[in-house]
Structure 1
Amino acid sequence: MRFIGNKERLVDWIYSTMQHNNINGKVFFDFFSGTSNVGKFFKEKNYRIVSSDLLYFSYVLQQAYLTNNHIPQFTSLISKLNIQSNLLVADNYELIIEYLNNIQPVKGFIYNNYAPSSTNHLIQPRIYFTDDNAKKIDAIRIEIEEWKKKNLINENEYFILIACLIESVPFFSNILGVFSAFKKDWDKRALKPFLLKPIKIFQDNKDHFVFNKSSLELLEDYQYDIIYLDPPYNQRQYAPNYHILETIAKYDNPEIKGVTGMRNYDNQKSNFCNKIKALNDLELICKSNNYKYILLSYNCEGIMPQDNILEIMQKYGSVKVEEYDYLRFKSNNNGESKHKKYIKEQLYILTNKKRLASSVEL
């Protein structure tokens, strides 16, 4: 998924930096889960994951990728639907994906609010999806919810199917990268017929814990070896950029407004989009003393100045900063062209001396 701040490209560097600095442990707290890519990576590295995010669609991804540890079987559903396996489909999981890809389209909330034919009464019709793709998204989401209500799928199967939808939708959306705006002309990807694709299942034998709330509320709930922070770097809130994914995940028929059909996100605003609030929250995290290490991903353009970050962190232990130059793409204000630019990614490493000492004594 295309996601602002997504660490998929950088997580290998983060891990190698941890190894170089002898940072290890058993419990990894992904404080701003987002796409769950960091959590997935460290789950595969045999860590127990705790993660949280204010966005519900992120919680769905956390449930599917982190909490779930098994390939879904859909036994009750397949029996009820009387679906027959065929030689082209490997397992029950793929059978259900194939079934959903072939259901009849439905005019639901997505079609009624984010497709051209249903919004042509607006000064600027919303062209996030073609009519056909919007109806297909609605049909799949409604069907999944009906299966849940009828107890034909369990909780893991439910979250996996919604995660498949969330992960698939951006590749058929008429956007530049996020959902805060749609393109005025059709992107060729958005014109392709919608196709639901299965997500990869990450299996292990550990219990992982995921949440849909402020991670500050979890600071005292577990003993963490590593707290990983990947907050917003600037004043732009994440929630507006993914409002349609949030609506698909919740499918709660929200009140919407404006050119883009934005849902209310007042209760999903991050303090890290405000310099003063960000520094205050960073201090709260660092002084919790319930960790061995804090790793803060940030960059040279962030709203928290490096001097302020270091001043806070150094109160609670030793601090080291690692840096990495990487190439990014940045749209111009009109979204008409892209140019390449190097940006300096920073990894602040806070070692909690008190916690390390107590761990040795135990």
Structure 2
Amino acid sequence: MKTFELRNRRYLGSKRAVLPVIAQVVSALPTAPKTAADIFAGTGVVGQSLARAGLAVTVNDLLSSNTTVYRAFFGAEPVRGERLAELVHEINTVAIDVLAPNYFSTTFRDTYYSEPNSRLIGHYRERIEQWHAAGTLNERERAVLIASLLYGMDKAAATVGHYDAYREGAASEARLVFGLPELESFDVPHTVTRQDANQLVRERHWDLVYMDPPYNSRQYGDLYHVLDNVTDWQQGPVQFKARKMDRRHLKSDYCTTAAVPAFTDLIDAVDTSTIIMSYNDTGARGNSRSAARLSDTDILTVLERRGRVDVVDVPHREFTTGKSGIGDIVERLFVCHVETPPFDPSTGSEPRKLKERKGRSERAGSATPASVQVETAEVAPVTVRSPLNYTGNKKRLVADIMPLLPPPGAGHDRFVDVFSGSMTVGMNAGYDRVAFNDVQVDVVGLGRLFGEVPYPEIIAEVEAIIDRYGLSDSQRHGYDAYGANSSNGLGRVNKDAYLRLRTDFNRMDSADRDRPYYFFTLVVFGFNNQIRYNRSGEFNMPVGKRDFNSRVRKNLFDTVTRMHQLQAELWTLDFRDVFGKLATTDLVYCDPPYLLGTAPYNEQNAWTVDDETDLLDGLAGFAARGGVFGLSNVLTHKGSEHDQLSNWATEHGFVVHTLDYSYANSSYQRKDRNASTEVLITNWTP
């Protein structure tokens, strides 16, 4: 009887090459771990290595084919080897030409497998269920035979190792031959789970957690759909040339632009003493599907919230379909020696702030083997992008504006954003104390929401509204489910539901507890995520093309994270009243509606010459009593000049910094993108 080991599979990102280094890292830990979790287990070889070292291991994955294999190799129930050998021999000797067509043969014949082998696969799977239903097999024995089937299929499939596509005409006519796994006994029991890793880590403590999240946009649920189809044996419909099932419920944020917030949530929640994470350095070197979703900076920034991090490089060749153009890569192990407890969103307690990075190889007490080179890396600042979209918001100019203003600790301890709008500048100013002011009470209400409510709770509330009104959810279901595509968008799909939501919002009382959630959902589904009201004070933006997608979720996550870190004050004052609250230790920043321009926030003459005059007088008065300010504005726009602003700056000797950027929210609305001269006026010289 043929046999196979756990590692005898073709699998994307297999960790066989890094096992010796992981073993070195674990053996060098100051306290030997007794429990461990492999939370993105894949082939399960890392979990097996930890189990062989005597640890009690939890092996987890979302794919049913993988978890069934784990139950075969790590299960505690007895296995009657001779009996299973008899059953496999029966399959290996059955006459294929007498087998009736079955679900698998009618669905997959002459694709990944020849028609005869497809009939044999379906027959074997049906027999396993018959034997189990008759009481011939216990649960682990059933898993062993399914593993026998899967490994036999894997060896002969006309693929490059996964099932994203098949090689036409390459299906082998040679008969499939099935074997049995080489099982081993362990001194301690192990646990097999099939859960979302971000949820699993909230449920228990392990001494060590190993994580190997997906690296790129290739969704594993799609890559191994055939094996899951056989494992689950639900015999459901398939679609497209690759014969894929509906796998949208298995879509992973780690394969999208939401990877950073998902990873941050995972690390904040995991309860362990040591984190070992595998990732590779594909970065942007491969094609768009091969490019890594997490950068070294992302990983280090998040891990260092929990403790000291060592980085170990392990060169090896990557799996490739032959088109990525990456070549040899470096598998990178990040070893985090956890120093802080998990983040508790119910109390608002945060992991420690980032500390000054030092060369890791020189740190005392490093648990990294001396024989392995340790690499240092610098952490770059991250710009927080607001999920709100204001025409003229300064997300592209923050990096240019802040060096022209006094840094924190230079005699100023609070940043006051007088016209905060999307809150972009205040969130990225680098100050711990920030006062956000805006006369739009719903916008300020969102600021309070972002600063007081945990991200998962906001997500849950918004998703409940989406379900309640029947709005689209492309994050979960994709565009195809709505008969739409990324180019045309979802406006047609969402229009009626959006208008109902907008009507209900406009009827809400200002003190309604749900109002901020409804308002945010309107902004998400509204045109260009913008904000506009009519003369009656009703929100009147039309429906947009997008929905609560991964980009918006990431921006929301970053915003909520930053707002929870800040000592934030939220004001709804007329700008004239703000000057009465200022101290000379405040750094004041103003980005008012531009007198020379129009935008949704400045329609219906909402900003007048009198307003402009009062603002300029207020800033001059604040400067006269020793305060420092920065004022964003435009000196020219479409041939018009702002003489009042220019003369005011000259009269008081203020510094005018030209910022070479023009804010047209949509390219089709303004063809001349150099029509404005954007400036920052200050009374402080860097």
TM class by shorter chain equals: 0.7 to 0.9
Where does 1:314-329 land on structure 2 (aligned, <5 Å)? 314-328=304-318
Do residues 231 (structure 1) and 210 (structure 2) align?
no
Aligned to 1:41: 49
Do residues 283 (structure 1) and 283 (structure 2) align?
no
2:102 to 108, 130, 134: 108
Amino acid at match of 1:33: A
Amino acid at match of 1:347: L
1:303 to 293, 316, 319: 293
State the 1:155 CA deviation: 0.6
Aligned to 2:192: 210
* Deviations, residues 208-253 of structure 1 (Å, cap 9, x unaligned): 1111221222213222011111011101101111111011101111
**Relative to 1, partners in 2 of residues 1:181 and 1:53: Cα closer, same or farther, differing over 3 Å?**
same
Aligned to 1:174: 158
- Range moving further from structure 2, 98-107 or 294-303: 98-107
Quote the Cα distance in structure 1 between the aligned partners of 2:145 and 2:129.
10
Quote the Cα distance in structure 2 between the aligned partners of 1:215 and 1:285.
8
Where does 1:44-123 land on structure 2 (aligned, <5 Å)? 44-68=52-76, 70=78, 72-73=79-80, 91-105=82-96, 106=99, 107-116=101-110
Quote the Cα distance in structure 2 between the aligned partners of 1:24 and 1:36.
21
State the 1:161 CA deviation: 0.6
Aligned to 2:144: 160
State the 1:340 CA deviation: 8.7
**Relative to 1, partners in 2 of residues 1:99 and 1:18: Cα closer, same or farther, differing over 3 Å?**
same
Quote the Cα distance in structure 1 between the aligned partners of 2:117 and 2:30.
49
Amino acid at match of 1:73: R
**Relative to 1, partners in 2 of residues 1:149 and 1:69: Cα closer, same or farther, differing over 3 Å?**
closer
Aligned to 1:4: 12
Q: Contact conserved, 1:225 with 1:292, CA < 8 A, in 2?
A: yes
* Deviations, residues 74-127 of structure 1 (Å, cap 9, x unaligned): 7xxxxxxxxxxxxxxxx33322221221234432121101113xxxxxxxxxx2
Where in structure 1 are there 5+ consecutive unaligned residues?
75-90, 117-126, 356-362
Quote the Cα distance in structure 1 between the aligned partners of 2:201 and 2:270.
9
CA radius of gyration, larger in: 2
Amino acid at match of 1:176: V
State the 1:170 CA deviation: 1.2
Displacement over 6 Å in runs of 4+: none
* Deviations, residues 8-59 of structure 1 (Å, cap 9, x unaligned): 2322222123334557401111111222222122211111111221111111
Amino acid at match of 1:345: E
> Alignment partner of 1:207: what SS?
coil
TM-score (normalizing by structure 2): 0.45
Higher RCO (CA-CA < 8 Å; seq separation 6+): 1
Quote the Cα distance in structure 1 between the aligned partners of 2:17 and 2:173.
28
Where does 1:7-26 land on structure 2 (aligned, <5 Å)? 7-20=15-28, 22=30, 24-26=32-34
Quote the Cα distance in structure 2 between the aligned partners of 1:241 and 1:13.
28
Aligned to 1:256: 238
> Alignment partner of 1:49: what SS?
strand
Quote the Cα distance in structure 2 between the aligned partners of 1:344 and 1:211.
30
Q: Contact conserved, 1:69 with 1:205, CA < 8 A, in 2?
A: no
Quote the Cα distance in structure 2 between the aligned partners of 1:34 and 1:315.
27
Aligned to 2:336: 350
Amino acid at match of 1:307: T
Aligned to 1:148: 132
> Alignment partner of 1:185: what SS?
coil
Quote the Cα distance in structure 2 between the aligned partners of 1:104 and 1:215.
44
Q: Contact conserved, 1:49 with 1:66, CA < 8 A, in 2?
A: no
**Relative to 1, partners in 2 of residues 1:24 and 1:282: Cα closer, same or farther, differing over 3 Å?**
farther
- Range moving further from structure 2, 11-20 or 130-139: 11-20
> Alignment partner of 1:345: what SS?
strand
Aligned to 2:274: 293
Quote the Cα distance in structure 2 between the aligned partners of 1:289 and 1:303.
20
Q: Contact conserved, 1:331 with 1:339, CA < 8 A, in 2?
A: no
State the 1:183 CA deviation: 0.3
Aligned to 2:426: none
Quote the Cα distance in structure 1 between the aligned partners of 2:298 and 2:32.
27
RMSD (Å) for aligned C-alpha atoms: 2.0
Q: Percent identity?
A: 20
How many residues align? The count is: 321
**Relative to 1, partners in 2 of residues 1:3 and 1:22: Cα closer, same or farther, differing over 3 Å?**
farther
**Relative to 1, partners in 2 of residues 1:40 and 1:28: Cα closer, same or farther, differing over 3 Å?**
same
TM-score (normalizing by structure 1): 0.83
Quote the Cα distance in structure 2 between the aligned partners of 1:157 and 1:332.
38
Quote the Cα distance in structure 1 between the aligned partners of 2:136 and 2:145.
13
Q: Contact conserved, 2:59 with 2:70, CA < 8 A, in 1?
A: yes
> Alignment partner of 2:143: what SS?
helix
* Deviations, residues 181-215 of structure 1 (Å, cap 9, x unaligned): 1102326xx33210111111121132211112212
Quote the Cα distance in structure 2 between the aligned partners of 1:171 and 1:59.
19
Q: Contact conserved, 2:17 with 2:316, CA < 8 A, in 1?
A: no
- Range moving further from structure 2, 161-170 or 219-228: 219-228
State the 1:4 CA deviation: 0.6
Quote the Cα distance in structure 1 between the aligned partners of 2:226 and 2:319.
23
Do residues 222 (structure 1) and 178 (structure 2) align?
no
**Relative to 1, partners in 2 of residues 1:43 and 1:21: Cα closer, same or farther, differing over 3 Å?**
closer
Aligned to 1:185: 169
Quote the Cα distance in structure 1 between the aligned partners of 2:159 and 2:31.
39
> Alignment partner of 2:180: what SS?
coil
Q: Contact conserved, 1:329 with 1:339, CA < 8 A, in 2?
A: no
Amino acid at match of 2:303: M
Q: Contact conserved, 1:327 with 1:340, CA < 8 A, in 2?
A: no
Aligned to 2:115: 131
State the 1:270 CA deviation: 1.2
Where in structure 2 are there 5+ consecutive unaligned residues?
1-8, 283-291, 342-686
**Relative to 1, partners in 2 of residues 1:219 and 1:163: Cα closer, same or farther, differing over 3 Å?**
same
> Alignment partner of 2:269: what SS?
coil
Quote the Cα distance in structure 1 between the aligned partners of 2:224 and 2:31.
33
**Relative to 1, partners in 2 of residues 1:322 and 1:154: Cα closer, same or farther, differing over 3 Å?**
same
* Deviations, residues 263-298 of structure 1 (Å, cap 9, x unaligned): 0111111111123x2222222222225100111100
